[in-house]
Structure 1
């Protein structure tokens, strides 16, 4: 693994480039960009998947989102879907500069919100030849409809009033407000997946000093609120897609709904007994997702004849 940087406009992005065990710089490899969940960093599950893909012969790049982790960008802790999608595109830019990466054989794999971002990037950047998601989440739709997708989009509108008042206060000098990706103190009403996410994110299980479990409320929320990772997916996603999710995940509706909408080559794998966060680090579920991803990318990242 090599620590690298690459540009996103004026921002320097920080990444970890995972190389195959028998890496030969004179060879040509397929490559995969791995995209971390909201609130995550490259050293967590995105790095785990990148390392496992490298073990299987791929070049794999895990990186910190702009404004997060070790990547640059001010202010800190901004969760901007448009920027997160562009992060994926500039990661592809970087991979295409590497002489040992075949520019025609680049894919993307995203976990949780990173799955939604990876899909949106693939829809709009056809240099990405195939996309895989694990425990996929569209962060905008989740914010509006709740973890289980049971609410109406309009139910989220009152929260935007609170955010507007907070931004006005901050413009007048008030302290900048932050919110959490996962609950600080889960209670009996907290969905099981988010209890698990709390355990992963803020304990020794998966916590990392650069993953601070917060984003800037007044700056990030309006950008998240209207985001739809899958808008126009029926027409713009022509590349193959793999969706892996657990049968017990409250987020499963994102994967099943997306699978139903995609018109091109697609595969949905629902793993019996799996929850949302199980696919972050539980060996049984990570192993299954990696097997599916390796099979998928081996079959889809094929050399295409240039016109």
Structure 2
């Protein structure tokens, strides 16, 4: 693994580039960008999937989001969906500059909100040839409609009013307000997936010093609530999409909505018994996902046919 930097406009992005076993810099490899969940960093589940893909012969790039982790961008701890999508495109830009990456064989794999961002980026960046989502979440829908998707979109109006008041207070000199990505103290009313998210992010299971469980409140929610990762997906996303999710995940509705909206090549893998967080690091579920993703990317990121001797 190589620690690298690349540019997303004015922002210096931090990434970890995972290279195949027996890597040859004179070779030509397929590559995959892995996109971390909201609140995550490249060293957690996105890095795990990148390492697994590298073991199977892919160049894989996991990066920290703009404004987060080791990447640059001010203000800090901003969750900006537009920037997150542009991060994916910038990662593809970087892969396009590497002599050992085949520029026609680049895919994206996103986990949780990273899955939504991966889909949204692939809709308009035709350099991305294939997409895999893992426990996908459309972050705008999740914030508006709740973890189970049972609320109307208008349920977020009180939060937007509070964010507007906080932004005015900050403009007048108040300290910035922050909210957590995952519950700091889950209780009996906390959805199972979010209890397990607490266990993942805030205990030694996967805790990382760069994943601070801290999101800038006023400026983040104003951007998140108006975002729809899957808007126009039926019309614009023509690339093949593999969707992996657990049957017991409270977030499953995001994957089924995406699957229903897609009109291009698609495959849904519903893993019985799996919950949302199982696919972050539980070996059984990670290996199942990798066993689906590797042949999917191999099929849809194929080598160009060799030119017969004496031709071309």
Normalization by structure 2: what TM-score? 0.97
Instruction: Report 1:293-304 matches (<5 A).
Output: 293-303=293-303
Aligned residue for 2:227? 227
Aligned residue for 2:308? none
Alignment RMSD: 0.8
Runs of 4+ in 1 over 2 A off after TM superposition: none
Aligned residue for 1:270? 270
Instruction: Report 1:77-226 matches (<5 A).
Output: 77-226=77-226
Secondary structure, counterpart of 1:211 in structure 2 = coil
Give me the whole-angstrom Cα distance separating, in 2, the residues matched to 1:46 and 1:77: 18
Secondary structure, counterpart of 1:238 in structure 2 = coil
Give me the whole-angstrom Cα distance separating, in 2, the residues matched to 1:76 and 1:158: 25
Give me the whole-angstrom Cα distance separating, in 2, the residues matched to 1:238 and 1:273: 30
By how many angstroms is 1:10 displaced? 1.3
1:87-107 per-position Cα deviation (integer Å, ceiling 9, x unaligned): 000000000000000000000
Aligned residue for 2:245? 245
By how many angstroms is 1:302 displaced? 1.7
Count of residue correspondences = 305
Aligned residue for 2:72? 72
Gaps of 5+ in 2: 306-312
By how many angstroms is 1:24 displaced? 0.5
Give me the whole-angstrom Cα distance separating, in 2, the residues matched to 1:243 and 1:213: 26
Aligned residue for 2:259? 259
1:8-55 per-position Cα deviation (integer Å, ceiling 9, x unaligned): 111110000000011001110000000000000000000000000000
Give me the whole-angstrom Cα distance separating, in 1, the residues matched to 2:125 and 2:23: 28
Normalization by structure 1: what TM-score? 0.98
Secondary structure, counterpart of 1:242 in structure 2 = strand
Secondary structure, counterpart of 1:296 in structure 2 = helix
